[in-house]
Amino acid sequence: MSNNKLTTSWGSPVGDNQNSMTAGDRGPTLIQDVHLLEKLAHFNRERVPERVVHAKGAGAHGYFEVTNDLSKYTKANFLNEVGKRTPMFIRFSTVAGELGSADTVRDPRGFAVKFYTEEGNYDIVGNNTPVFFIRDAIKFPDFIHTQKRDPKTHLKNPTAVWDFWSHSPESLHQVSILMSDRGIPATLRHMHGFGSHTFKWVNKEGEAVWVKYHFKTEQGVKNLAVDTAAKLAGENPDYHTEDLFNAIEAGDFPAWTLYVQIMPVEDANTYRFDPFDVTKVWSQKDYPLIEVGRMVLNRNPENYFAEVEQATFSPGTFVPGVEASPDKMLQGRLFAYADAHRYRVGVNHNALPINRPQSPVNNYQRDGQMRFDGNGGGSVYYEPNSFSGPKESPEDKTSAFAVSGVADSVAYDHNDHYTQAGDLYRLLSEEERARLVENIVGAMKPVALEEIKLRQIGHFYKADPEYGTRIAEGLGLAVPEEVK
User: Would you name the residues annotated as active-site residues?
Assistant: 54, 127
Task: Report, in Å, the least distance between residue 467 CB and ligand HEM.
Answer: 24
Answer yes or no whether residue 253 interacts with ligand HEM by CB under 6 A.
no
List b or e across 332-344, with b for residues whose CB sees 16 or more CB atoms inside 10 angstroms. bbbebbbebbeeb
> Which of 336, 351, 352, 479 touches ligand HEM by CB under 6 A?
336
Answer yes or no whether residue 169 interacts with ligand HEM by CB under 6 A.
no
Q: Is 116 annotated as a binding residue?
A: no
Which of 424, 431, 458 minimizes the C-alpha distance to 444? 458
What residues pair up with 126 in beta bridges, in sequence order? 111
CB nearer to ligand HEM: pick between 35 and 280: 280
List b or e across 361-393, with b for residues whose CB sees 16 or more CB atoms inside 10 angstroms. eeeeeeeeeeeeeeebeeeebeeeeeeebeeee
Tell me, residue by residue from 341 to 380, as one string, x for binding to ligand HEM by CB under 6 A and - for no binding: x--x------------------------------------
Task: Report, in Å, the least distance between residue 472 CB and ligand HEM.
Answer: 30
Contacts of 479 (CB under 8 A, 6+ apart): 457, 458, 461, 465, 468, 469, 472
Kindly tell me the sign of the dihedral angle through the C-alpha atoms of 213, 217, 220, 223.
negative
**Quick check: bond before 237 cis, omega within 30?**
no
Measured between alpha carbons, how far is 294 from 285 in angstroms, rounded to an integer?
23
CB nearer to ligand HEM: pick between 135 and 190: 135
> Which of 39, 71, 85, 140 touches ligand HEM by CB under 6 A?
140
CB-count burial class (<10 Å; 0-12, 13-18, 19+) for 82: exposed
Answer yes or no whether residue 276 interacts with ligand HEM by CB under 6 A.
no
- For ligand HEM, the nearest residue by Cβ is 110
> Which of 282, 313, 425, 467 touches ligand HEM by CB under 6 A?
313
> Which of 36, 137, 290, 347 touches ligand HEM by CB under 6 A?
137
Answer yes or no whether residue 183 interacts with ligand HEM by CB under 6 A.
no
CB 38 within 8 Å of CB 8: yes
> Which of 200, 214, 333, 470 touches ligand HEM by CB under 6 A?
333
Calculate the CA 436 to chain-centre distance: 24
Measured between alpha carbons, how far is 87 from 386 in angstroms, rounded to an integer?
36
CA distances for 163 relative to 122, 186, 448, angstroms: 37, 29, 10
Answer yes or no whether residue 146 interacts with ligand HEM by CB under 6 A.
no
Answer yes or no whether residue 239 interacts with ligand HEM by CB under 6 A.
no
> Which of 62, 110, 193, 468 touches ligand HEM by CB under 6 A?
110
Task: Report, in Å, the least distance between residue 341 CB and ligand HEM.
Answer: 5
CB nearer to ligand HEM: pick between 195 and 293: 195
> Which of 146, 187, 241, 312 touches ligand HEM by CB under 6 A?
312
> Which of 73, 116, 215, 337 touches ligand HEM by CB under 6 A?
337
CB-count burial class (<10 Å; 0-12, 13-18, 19+) for 19: exposed
List b or e across 31-55, with b for residues whose CB sees 16 or more CB atoms inside 10 angstroms. eebebbeebeeeeeeeeeeebebbb
Answer yes or no whether residue 132 interacts with ligand HEM by CB under 6 A.
yes
Answer yes or no whether residue 329 interacts with ligand HEM by CB under 6 A.
yes
Measured between alpha carbons, how far is 114 from 317 in angstroms, rounded to an integer?
9
Task: Report, in Å, the least distance between residue 466 CB and ligand HEM.
Answer: 29
CB 36 within 8 Å of CB 28: no
Answer yes or no whether residue 51 interacts with ligand HEM by CB under 6 A.
yes
Answer yes or no whether residue 37 interacts with ligand HEM by CB under 6 A.
no
Task: Report, in Å, the least distance between residue 296 CB and ligand HEM.
Answer: 19
User: How many residues does the structure list for the chain?
Assistant: 484
Answer yes or no whether residue 214 interacts with ligand HEM by CB under 6 A.
no
Q: Catalog residues that contact ligand HEM under the rule CB under 6 A.
A: 51-54, 57, 91, 93, 110, 112, 125-127, 132, 137, 140, 196, 278, 311-313, 329, 332-333, 336-337, 340-341, 344
Residues flagged as binding site for heme: 337
